[in-house]
Chains A and B, each alone.
Chain A
Amino acid sequence: MKNSEKHLQDLNEIRQIMERSTKFLSLSGWAGILAGIIAIVGTVAAILYLDSRAISYEALLTMHHEDAANAPLVFFIADATIVLVLALSGAVFFSCRKAKKSGEKIWSPVTKRLLYHLALPLVTGGILVLILVWQRNVHLVAPFTLIFYGLSLVNAGKYTNREIVWLGIAEITTGLAATIWTQHGLWLWGTGFGIYHIIYGITLYHKYERKTVAHG
């Protein structure tokens, strides 16, 4: 009896070590929730801005090579950059906090592997989007940020909690839909980066964080 308990303990420990040594498990649900809220605020800011200038998003997309489109474009780029920076800072902050709580090192080979797999599609998408803005193919910006972000999440799925793959697939699907119906790009972007992140964050929190809190 005592022996079989030891064997079971051995197996559990093996499984845990295998997971800990291959996956970055410090992603926090709070980071997802915060990123979602920031993205929604960013989307609302964009909608209010367009309203104040009495331009519709659809009209903005068709303003090719017109000076009237310059100011809104600058606003959109600034808005999106602020959203990105704040959401990323939140993710880093909550990950560090979670790693510290569970006594793990934040900068480990596992972290590097996760970041590398996240970065590849993300940087590609980022450069592509800059090219699109430069070419004034503005209607493809919202859909392509969704698609490439989704691809990067799916790509990183092997190196962290699996839920991220579902978030990725949802982003890709929404991005493809936004490519078909470009006139709805703005609110689809808000849904993808806002609402999906919040759902993902809450799921992550319920599955991995609430438990550890309850157990002390």
Chain B
Amino acid sequence: MDNPIKKLNKDFESRVRLGVMSVLSVNEWVDFNTLKDLLEVTDGNLASHIRSLETSGYLEVRKQFVARKPKTSYNITLKGKKAFSEHLSALEALLK
């Protein structure tokens, strides 16, 4: 039998990254400040985790100006959706 632990995604070991993926899996285009409020983390901490998720290709970034202020929003990619749902299944399998 496959060991479900192997299916756990290392990218989602961090609480912050897990949180970002949770928010993005049920919301489209969420901006940085909303994520920060929801997850209750600092700017720097969130930014570094988001960068690593972006490098893995799990989320896409959109930068725009709203009322002359830069606003960065994030959306989950197909790859991210798949990786996250596999991670969830693995978590559930481990608890059975």
Residue numbers in B under 8 Å from A13 (CB-CB): 15, 18-19, 22
Is A14 a contact of B18 with CB atoms below 8 Å? yes
From B23, which residue of chain A is reached at the shortest CB distance?
Answer: A21
Is A11 a contact of B92 with CB atoms below 8 Å? yes
Q: How many A-B residue pairs have CB under 8 A?
A: 45
Of A10, A11, A17, the contact of B38 (CB 8 Å cutoff):
A17
Q: Is A105 an interface residue (CB 8 A)?
A: yes
From A11, which residue of chain B is reached at the shortest CB distance?
Answer: B91
Q: Mark B56-96, 1 if CB is under 8 A from A, else 0.
A: 00000000000000000000000000000000100110110
Q: How many interface residues does chain A have, given as a range?
A: 10 to 19
Is B30 a contact of A21 with CB atoms below 8 Å? yes
State the majority secondary structure of interface residues on B. helix
Residue numbers in B under 8 Å from A11 (CB-CB): 88, 91-92, 95
Provided the pairs A4-B95, A14-B88, A109-B34 are in contact, do residues A22 and B22 lie with their beta carbons within 8 angstroms?
Answer: no
Q: Is A18 an interface residue (CB 8 A)?
A: yes
Q: Mark B1-33, 1 if CB is under 8 A from A, else 0.
A: 000000000000001001100110111001000
Q: Is B39 an interface residue (CB 8 A)?
A: yes
Q: Is A108 an interface residue (CB 8 A)?
A: yes
Of B18, B22, B91, the contact of A21 (CB 8 Å cutoff):
B22
Provided the pairs A13-B18, A17-B39 are in contact, do residues A8 and B95 lie with their beta carbons within 8 angstroms?
Answer: yes
From B35, which residue of chain A is reached at the shortest CB distance?
Answer: A21
Q: Is A206 an interface residue (CB 8 A)?
A: no
Is B19 a contact of A17 with CB atoms below 8 Å? yes
Q: Is A100 an interface residue (CB 8 A)?
A: no
Please count how many residues in chain B sit with their CB below 8 Å of the partner chain's CB atoms.
Answer: 18
Residue numbers in B under 8 Å from A7 (CB-CB): 91, 94-95
Residue numbers in A under 8 Å from B19 (CB-CB): 13-14, 17
Provided the pairs A7-B95, A108-B34, A109-B34 are in contact, do residues A21 and B27 lie with their beta carbons within 8 angstroms?
Answer: yes
From B20, which residue of chain A is reached at the shortest CB distance?
Answer: A17
Of B22, B91, B94, B95, the contact of A17 (CB 8 Å cutoff):
B22
Q: Mark A1-41, 1 if CB is under 8 A from B, else 0.
A: 00110011011011001101110000000000000000000
Is B18 a contact of A10 with CB atoms below 8 Å? yes
- Residues of A participating in the B interface, judged by any CB pair closer than 8 Å: 3-4, 7-8, 10-11, 13-14, 17-18, 20-22, 105, 108-109
Q: List 23 A-B contacts (CB under 8 A).
A: A4-B95, A7-B95, A10-B18, A11-B88, A11-B92, A11-B95, A13-B18, A13-B22, A17-B19, A17-B23, A18-B22, A18-B23, A18-B25, A18-B26, A20-B38, A21-B22, A21-B26, A21-B27, A22-B26, A105-B37, A108-B37, A109-B27, A109-B34
- Residues of B participating in the A interface, judged by any CB pair closer than 8 Å: 15, 18-19, 22-23, 25-27, 30, 34, 37-39, 88, 91-92, 94-95
